[in-house]
Amino acid sequence: MQSWHPEPLPLFDDDLWSAEPERAAEPAVESTHWAHSVGVFDLETTGVDVTTDRVVTAHVGLLGSGGVALRAQSWLADPGVEIPEGASAIHGISTQHARAHGRPAREVVAEIVSALRALLDAGIPVVAYNAPYDFSLLKYEALRYGIEPIVAPAPVIDPLVLDKAHDRYRKGKRTLEVVAAHYAVELTGAHDAAADAIAAGRVAQALAGRFALPADLRELHTQQIGWARDQAESLTEYFISVGRLDPAEHLDGAWPIR
């Protein structure tokens, strides 16, 4: 199993997002574009129910041109509940480890919310792979601890939505590991929050270099709302056709938060 460790990069400070980020020597995207500076966000949790499961590890950071990590912070929380063995097998954090080394969940959730709000308030897009999961779970965690939640995150970039929209008929899975490999993005230590967040950000930058994505973040954000809805409707139809859903059921296509 993987062991959790903090990113060896500077923590957030009050002036973090106000300064112009440094540029890599060979940017991945040649035009003046949002992809030159993207926030990244990922959670590893106790399970998959966004309303009841808890944050175990998290990462929020800032990537510059070429996917260079400019700023980062990782968290390990004591979620206050048992971490199921199935979840531990995925991200490598046991209940005992979280209790011994994790910080109080309320403090961690408050800091994650603050870090993301700083990025979004600065107009920096936040990349999250399958964004409704991470942002929704964080919302319910914030409500659980009496913290003002982020209820309408924007601008957000979701490489899962973008990849499905622009390469709709490609066969195979759309997990982060598979999609990262498809776009030649290295992902070592999958299901580590830092590794997943950074890889997702680099996939978003690769998508910006390959497809004609809007440079206007508001337009791109709005387009993803429609694409996510259409993708959920299409998947609902497929699941009904193969018997995985009843005809009266449907998948929630709300994006980037539910």
Tally the C-alpha atoms within 13 A of residue 165's C-alpha that lie toward its C-beta. Answer: 21
Cα angle 129, 81, 73 (rounded to 5 degrees) comes to: 40
In a domain, 28, yes or no: no
The reported pLDDT for the residue numbered 178 is: 98
Q: CB-based contacts of 102: which residues, under 8 Å, 6+ apart?
A: 56, 76, 77, 78, 79, 108
Residues 206/184, Cβ–Cβ less than 8 Å: yes
Secondary structure letter of residue 8 according to DSSP: S
Helix-then-strand count for the chain, H and E: 8, 6
Count other C-beta atoms under 10 Å from residue 257's C-beta: 21
In a domain, 48, yes or no: yes
Domain total of the chain: 1
Which helix (H) or strand (E) segment holds residue 207: the answer is: helix 193-210
In a domain, 5, yes or no: no
CA–CA separation, 73 and 119 (whole Å) = 13
Strand ordering across the sheet containing 69-78: 103-104, 69-78, 55-63, 38-45, 126-127, 156-157
The model's pTM is 0.88
Q: Tell me how far the alpha carbon of residue 153 is from its chain's centroid.
A: 12
The reported pLDDT for the residue numbered 70 is: 97
Radius of gyration of the chain, Cα coordinates, nearest whole angstrom: 18
Q: Locate 130 and state its tokens.
A: 């399958």
Return per-residue pLDDT of the chain as tens, 258 residues.
333 333 434 444 444 443 343 333 333 434 448 999 999 999 999 999 999 999 999 999 999 999 999 999 999 999 999 999 999 999 999 999 999 999 999 999 999 999 999 999 999 999 999 999 999 999 999 999 999 999 999 999 999 999 999 999 999 999 999 999 999 999 988 899 999 999 999 999 999 999 999 999 999 999 999 999 999 999 999 999 999 999 999 999 999 999
Range of the domain at 99: 34-241
Q: Locate 35 and state its tokens.
A: 């992809």
Q: Which residues pair with 72 in a beta bridge?
A: 61
Please state the φ and ψ torsions of residue 36, each to the nearest 5 degrees: -70, -20
CA–CA separation, 220 and 137 (whole Å) = 23
In a domain, 2, yes or no: no
Q: Locate 27 and state its tokens.
A: 């940017």
The reported pLDDT for the residue numbered 9 is: 42
In a domain, 134, yes or no: yes
In a domain, 93, yes or no: yes
Q: Residue 116: what residue type?
A: L
Q: Tell me how far the alpha carbon of residue 10 is from its chain's centroid.
A: 20
In a domain, 10, yes or no: no
The tens digit of pLDDT for each residue in 39-66 reads: 999 999 999 999 999 999 999 999 999 9
The reported pLDDT for the residue numbered 6 is: 39
Residues 253/228, Cβ–Cβ less than 8 Å: yes
In a domain, 38, yes or no: yes
CATH code of the domain containing 194? 3.30.420.10
Alpha helix (H) residue ranges in the chain: 85-91, 95-101, 105-121, 131-144, 159-166, 176-182, 193-210, 217-241
The pairing of beta strand 126-127 with beta strand 156-157: parallel
